[in-house]
């Protein structure tokens, strides 16, 4: 009985990567000869699509700007059993792809992350290594630690993961959303180390350190609110309660001593803050029940994919 080889798709989101995309396409065609390499051009104006097509890739387009928009389109359009996603900047080692795919298949993982090992001093831009550690550590503390390099752009996904992933991010924060989705559903996640090099001379990164770092941090905050509402609103309630007690104690003490409430506005504010704290906690309880139901629906959607 013959064994049917799995269909593998290499997904390469690109914006103005004409200098590097040919090397990426040729590298992955050599590393995974049975795979189809798809380059998704995201409003490039430097001829990226033509270069990729000449190198042997199947070129498609996504006009809505942002890596998250491209990933959402790629996951919706492409049919395969395993998906290799990699940036088009030629910093990731294509020869590691067979090892990533083999790890996913043999381990039964829905996601395998390629943790970056720098092969050059300039592989990371200034501040990026520290920022990556901080953000990865923050997500690990809150949602569970399953990776050492959350923001790596080199990953392998199962069909189940891709077809049930509700992508909402627009930009580079998509990496955070991918990881938190896997952690929240307790999907099997693996990781291997892979070389990570410098960008070729003349090629520039599209990642804006402060802007995209803030967007990633904002995404983490939104996902905490969305996926951990009881904890989030309990903290809000605790802060409001502390402020309320701090404002209210002097008013109560004065009333007990004199029978008067001379600072009436402060008393009203303290009461309003205490009510807000109780309301915040109640909102957390309600949203926690809703989140539990939504998580079950996402799990069912994941299980519905063969």
pLDDT of residue 163: 94
Backbone angles phi, psi at 241, to 5 degrees: -65, -40
Distance between first and last Cα of the chain: 21
Q: Which residue has the higher pLDDT, 180 or 126?
A: 180
219-233 CB burial, b ≥16 within 10 A, e <16:
bbeebbbbbbbbebb
pLDDT band for 210, please (50, 70, 90 cuts).
Answer: low
Q: How far is CA 41 from the centre of its chain?
A: 21
Least confident interval from 39-43, 91-95, 116-120, 297-301: 116-120
Say which residues have a Cβ less than 8 Å from residue 249's Cβ, sequence separation at least 6: none
- What is the per-residue pLDDT for 294? 84
Question: What does pTM read for this prediction?
Answer: 0.80
Q: How many CA atoms lie within 13 A of 85 on its CB side?
A: 27
Q: What is the overall mean pLDDT for the chain?
A: 86
pLDDT, position 225 = 84
pLDDT for 6: 87
Instruction: Please say if the pLDDT value at position 264 is more than 90.
Output: no
Q: How far is CA 290 from the centre of its chain?
A: 22
Label residue 138 by pLDDT band (50, 70, 90).
confident
CA distances from 156 to 130, 152, 163 (A): 25, 11, 14
pLDDT, greater one: 141 or 304: 304
Note the pLDDT of residue 209. Answer: 60
Radius of gyration of the chain (CA): 24
Q: Is 291 left (phi over 0), alpha (psi -120 to 50) or beta?
A: alpha
């Amino acid at each position: 009985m013959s064994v049917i080889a799995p269909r593998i798709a290499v997904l390469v989101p690109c914006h103005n990567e004409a200098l590097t995309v040919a090397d990426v396409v040729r590298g992955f065609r050599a590393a995974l000869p049975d795979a189809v390499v798809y380059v998704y051009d995201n409003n490039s104006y430097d001829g990226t699509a033509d270069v990729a097509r000449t190198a042997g890739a199947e070129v498609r387009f996504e006009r809505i700007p942002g890596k998250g928009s491209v990933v959402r389109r790629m996951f919706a359009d492409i049919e395969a059993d395993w998906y290799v996603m990699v940036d088009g900047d030629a910093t990731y080692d294509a020869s590691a792809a067979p090892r990533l795919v083999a790890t996913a298949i043999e381990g039964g993982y829905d996601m395998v992350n390629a943790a970056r090992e720098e092969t050059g001093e300039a592989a990371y831009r200034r501040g990026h290594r520290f920022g990556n550690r901080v953000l990865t550590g923050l997500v690990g503390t809150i949602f569970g630690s399953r990776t050492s390099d959350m923001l790596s752009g080199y990953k392998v996904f199962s069909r189940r993961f891709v077809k049930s992933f509700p992508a909402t991010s627009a930009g580079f924060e998509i990496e955070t959303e991918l990881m938190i989705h896997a952690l929240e559903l307790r999907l099997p996640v693996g990781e291997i180390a892979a070389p990570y090099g410098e960008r070729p001379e003349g090629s520039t990164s599209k990642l804006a350190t402060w802007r995209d770092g803030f967007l990633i941090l904002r995404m983490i905050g939104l996902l905490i609110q969305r996926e951990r509402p009881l904890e989030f609103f309990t903290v809000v309630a605790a802060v409001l309660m502390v402020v309320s007690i701090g404002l209210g104690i002097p008013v109560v003490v004065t009333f007990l001593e004199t029978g008067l409430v001379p600072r009436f506005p402060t008393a009203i504010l303290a009461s309003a803050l205490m009510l807000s704290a109780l309301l915040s906690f109640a909102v957390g309880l309600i949203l926690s029940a809703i989140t539990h139901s939504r998580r079950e629906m996402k799990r069912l959607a994941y299980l519905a994919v063969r």
